[in-house]
Structure 1
Amino acid sequence: MDFSLLLVLAVALSGVIYLLDVVLLRPKRRQRVATADANTQEGLDEPSREKLLKEPWPVDYARSFFPVLLIVLVVRSFIVEPFQIPSGSMRPTLEVGDFILVNKFAYGLRLPVVNTRFIEVDDPERGDVMVFRFPDEPSVNFIKRVVGLPGDSIRYEGKQLYINGGPIAKELTEEGPEASPEQLLLAETLGDADHFVYNNPRDPGPQMREVEVPAGHYFMMGDNRDHSNDSRYWGFVPEENIVGRAFAVWMHWDGGLPSFTSVRRIE
């Protein structure tokens, strides 16, 4: 189920019910009270007045929930949205169970559900960690690092990334790090982003001959280079699938007690 769609429908339904009450039902209730007052010698007693003015339960719920749902919709659609990391494709930058915050206006404001950009801000930059809708299944959100911009030539062979014909420099930081003993931990710089990647020396990993990123599309890769389902397998991400830029980890939860010791910015 698309949570954005459900949220929009909930806001619309509660808003329509609330508006219908303000415009039509509430005046009728007040008119009934006025008529009853006029037909009663001493006027209505307080319990009778309250009973006639009482809102129907759908109106009561709509009045209570509409402002809350509207605020959640605005914040989630245009400001910041939380996500949970479900896989290890972005290790070591992001671990399974990390809860992240995604800036929804970094790449422009988009209408909920249809995801159409109506206010332009910035475009993704190389090295950004970006959440997007998976091209083959738009109801599923993916998170990867922006590697190729529109017009770039990308090649990945022998665990080496090439952009526009030049190799991206990486430096071995640690062999067999404690968090993943079978991997090599390497430092890499993409654009302004200094980050770490994993390579598995015992796994040849995917190979990809040079491709050119089409206009309006982006080439995405996971930092766990040999264990990431990314653009090397299924192609490019169109601009209209962009959700936002991941900028912080605010909690980690792996099934036990939530932990806040890993709160950090995402580089």
Structure 2
Amino acid sequence: MSWRMFSYKSAVNNRKKTKTREWFDAIIFAVLAATLIRVFFIEAYTIPSGSMEKSLLIGDFLFVSKVNYGARIPMTPVAFPFAHHTMPITGTKAYWDGVEWKYRRLPGLSEIKRNDVVVFNLPVGDTVALENQEPSYYNLVRQFGWKSVNSQYTVTSRPVDKRENIIKRCIGISGDVVSMKNGILSVNGKVEPLKNTGQMPYKIQLKIADINFEVFKELGFTVNEMEQVDPFTYVANATSEMIDKLKTFDFIKSVALNVKPETVNDADLFPLDSNRKWNVDNFGPIKIPAAGWTVQLDSNTMPLYYRAIRTYEGNKVEKRGNAWYINDKPVNTYTFKMNYYWMMGDNRHNSIDSRYWGFVPEDHVVGKALLIWMSWDKEGSFFHKIRWNRLLKGIN
């Protein structure tokens, strides 16, 4: 064997990857591929609360499409793969906010439509008290005061794409006017009844006190959550379809929506304006901002649009005497740069949504919920924990 042949074989052997190097390269490739799929195409999501029942249940595992509305280019690009905002073990930040890109979105298949089920970043999640489960830092401050909250908890800020992910139904799109009266929603003056998959509280009056509650269970009621008012009266969450079936039974005397009267004021509702006596069942009308829409700025409109103009669109806003200044210039109108949406949960009396924190800006939108690929009930044996009738179920 010549020295040239020996040198060639030695070079080939030296370039051959070790098993460790092969595994390392494979893992890097898998992480990059999975990250690209998660960021630009589809992402898994889990339902953590009952705010969308009975459309979506606690324990539903979803696929959320980034393609439908157009994938959002990462605004905080330096981040740990597969972690959202917090590292799972250390509890530290899973991203570095030293590099932040402005909001951009790739072309999508469609715009957000009314009644789409949408995943988005919590608008009031820009500031959080880490040790508290309350989703809104601002609610904590209103309840306990700024000094108490900031001394008791670790308070931090989060960029848009690292705010908490939540899921709701889009009730109104940009330019719509939404309102609710006696628990019935209207969009642009047209009544929009709650779909059969959504829940409202009903007052149920019985003709007899002694009944078999298995009937309620078979209809889909959560019997142990039914509130007894007196021997003949119960308050229970139900869909309109469940109520229609219940009314056919002889032992039912009457069934009616159990909503708050207009005279009751919920002080913690958007826009936190003492001049508006609104509650979860009676509010509005509210016009949802649209890109290019110009609003007149006055004492009536500013409570509604102040946060959108200042926080979401990044302007300096202040009042000097009776005049409003934006970026140190006196103004009496403002033209919006982004589209906004009104999101609400299907479980209307068990949902913290736009009624509490207002509009959802377009740069907060993550994607469209498409499919339930797995559903897991915490009750029962292993086999019965799987909700077989929900597997591979489309979301509408």
- Normalising by structure 1, report the TM-score: 0.69
Tell me the equivalent position of 2:178: 154
Return the letter of the residue paired with 2:36.
V
Report SS of the residue matched to 1:74. Answer: helix
Tell me the equivalent position of 2:265: none
Tell me the equivalent position of 1:166: 190
Report SS of the residue matched to 1:251. Answer: strand
> How much does 1:144 deviate?
0.4
**What is the alpha-carbon distance in structure 2 between the residues aligned to residue 136 and residue 42 of structure 1?**
68
Return the letter of the residue paired with 1:151.
G
> How much does 1:63 deviate?
1.8
**What is the alpha-carbon distance in structure 2 between the residues aligned to residue 67 and residue 54 of structure 1?**
15
**What is the alpha-carbon distance in structure 1 between the residues aligned to residue 178 and residue 39 of structure 2?**
32
Tell me the equivalent position of 2:240: 186
State the superposition RMSD in angstroms: 3.3
Of Structure 1 and Structure 2, the greater strand share is in: 1
Report SS of the residue matched to 1:109. Answer: coil
Change (3 A) 1:168 1:75: same
The question of 1:236 aligning with 2:236 is answered no
Report SS of the residue matched to 2:39. Answer: helix
Report SS of the residue matched to 1:125. Answer: coil
**What is the alpha-carbon distance in structure 1 between the residues aligned to residue 70 and residue 361 of structure 2?**
15
**What is the alpha-carbon distance in structure 1 between the residues aligned to residue 12 and residue 196 of structure 2?**
78
Return the letter of the residue paired with 1:186.
S
Return the letter of the residue paired with 1:142.
I
**Match for 2:286 among 183, 193, 211?**
211
Report SS of the residue matched to 1:249. Answer: strand
Report SS of the residue matched to 1:89. Answer: coil
Change (3 A) 1:158 1:44: same
Unaligned residue ranges in structure 1 (runs of 5+) = 1-36, 188-199
- Normalising by structure 2, report the TM-score: 0.48
Question: What does residue range 79-228 of structure 1 map to in structure 2 within 5 Å?
Answer: 79-114=41-76, 116-137=104-125, 138=160, 139-169=163-193, 177-181=219-223, 182-186=236-240, 201-202=257-258, 204=260, 206=280, 207-215=282-290, 216-228=339-351
**What is the alpha-carbon distance in structure 2 between the residues aligned to residue 171 and residue 81 of structure 1?**
26
**What is the alpha-carbon distance in structure 2 between the residues aligned to residue 103 and residue 74 of structure 1?**
13
Q: What is the count of residue pairs matched by the alignment?
A: 216
Return the letter of the residue paired with 1:152.
D
Return the letter of the residue paired with 1:72.
A
**What is the alpha-carbon distance in structure 2 between the residues aligned to residue 106 and residue 172 of structure 1?**
25
Q: Deviations over 1:29-77 (max 9, x none)?
A: xxxxxxxx979x976997x9857866696x6565222221221122112
> How much does 1:108 deviate?
1.3
Q: Identity of paired residues, percent?
A: 31
**What is the alpha-carbon distance in structure 1 between the residues aligned to residue 67 and residue 165 of structure 2?**
17
Return the letter of the residue paired with 1:161.
L
